[in-house]
Structure 1
């Protein structure tokens, strides 16, 4: 699909902050064959500072007062197979939330990938896990330090906020191995976006075809009023 879902959300006045785009999150290189795109429902995990109750930091106000992760389970036992797990890390931390062991567990359970609003590690071995295209990892940054130095998992399948974009369990993530995370579509807007996309793709392909034939850009846009660049 040549058109980006984030453009559809932004330009066609589906009122989602930031077009649902999760900025500054990039794919871990996997050396996979071909170009992988993933569209899947979301599971969420909220991490908090290791030695601090989440009620106190301003960034967690209003989210979760009590942990919903059982003490006899690891958080990787919770995300639903067939989803992509989106993980929110406290800001300014230097630890990684995911390495090759966590990634292996998630892939074994049938998760399609992990998106980390924070740090990952074991890039080479995680890349090997992703080579077959059935699992992908995206993160904001890297670290060699384990999670338990600074962070702990606090709650699963709760609303989280990434770069001003609210992400809720059951929302749909559109992610691209080559371009990073594209956007999050709220579950209650999914049908609206799905109805818009065929028209947008037809217009986008038409504008591209006109420009390839030598048409100037503004004229090409006029030829296709449904293009997302037209207000």
Structure 2
């Protein structure tokens, strides 16, 4: 059995905050995906299971082991306010790695959401707490830790595969009702510029459509629809 807990990466808030300021942009995961030319999008089955709110923040990653899903309470030694906990649970659908108490602890720590390639439970409690969870599925069976006492194997802040995308600690997570986009940390500045331009262009296009503009007029003015 092994337990690896790496330090939280150094994260420049000046690179993250501009994305947070886009929280009211419609279809934000789509806009960010477009800015990355369709790259780094999680599988379509990664969807919200609790509170109806966007998740925007740097990833604190958790890697579990297929067939031996344990609780990941140790992540709260690392996570800080504004972080997103990203869990690679190997797409496990029959054992839930995240429940209501985890949602409460995360909210108290200032964590802004959880993204789980696996199962969660207690989604009613998460909604009560206004804590957003994106996951593959939800179901009632808990991890065995409460019964076995084991909290390993577990790896924290290592590269993980979540929703079919490699996520490194510190990468930006943008999740909404449509899906999840992941922005590599080293690309944050460039992707933000493109995403902001795309969002502004879509707002202008939407306004023209509501005024009755034709497809030809829209293509001439904006170059795409």
What TM-score results when the alignment is normalised by the length of structure 2? 0.74
Counterpart residue number, 1:109: 109
The range that moved more, 119-128 or 216-225, is: 216-225
Shift of 1:212: 1.2
Counterpart residue number, 1:63: none
- Give, in whole Å, the separation in 2 of the partners of 1:201 and 1:41: 21
Shift of 1:115: 1.1
1:223 maps to 2:221: yes
Counterpart residue number, 1:144: 140
From 7, 22, 26, the counterpart of 1:2: 26
Question: Tell me, what secondary structure is at the counterpart of 1:79?
Answer: coil
In structure 2, runs of 5+ residues without a counterpart are: 1-24
Q: Structure 1, residues 163-202: CA drift from partner, whole Å, max 9, x if none? A: 33111110111122xx154311111111001112332223
CA contact (8 A) 1:45 1:153 kept: no
Question: Tell me, what secondary structure is at the counterpart of 1:106?
Answer: helix
- Give, in whole Å, the separation in 2 of the partners of 1:157 and 1:78: 9
CA contact (8 A) 2:104 2:129 kept: yes
Question: Tell me, what secondary structure is at the counterpart of 1:208?
Answer: helix
Counterpart residue number, 1:43: 60
- Give, in whole Å, the separation in 2 of the partners of 1:218 and 1:79: 50
From 24, 28, 44, the counterpart of 2:49: 28
CA contact (8 A) 1:21 1:181 kept: yes
- Give, in whole Å, the separation in 2 of the partners of 1:28 and 1:111: 17
In structure 1, runs of 5+ residues without a counterpart are: 53-68
Question: Tell me, what secondary structure is at the counterpart of 1:147?
Answer: coil
Report the CA distance shift for 1:9/1:86 in structure 2 as closer, same or farther (over 3 A). Answer: same
Shift of 1:80: 3.1
- Give, in whole Å, the separation in 1 of the partners of 2:105 and 2:157: 18
CA contact (8 A) 2:98 2:120 kept: yes
Question: Tell me, what secondary structure is at the counterpart of 1:20?
Answer: coil
Report the CA distance shift for 1:8/1:37 in structure 2 as closer, same or farther (over 3 A). Answer: closer
Question: Tell me, what secondary structure is at the counterpart of 2:129?
Answer: helix
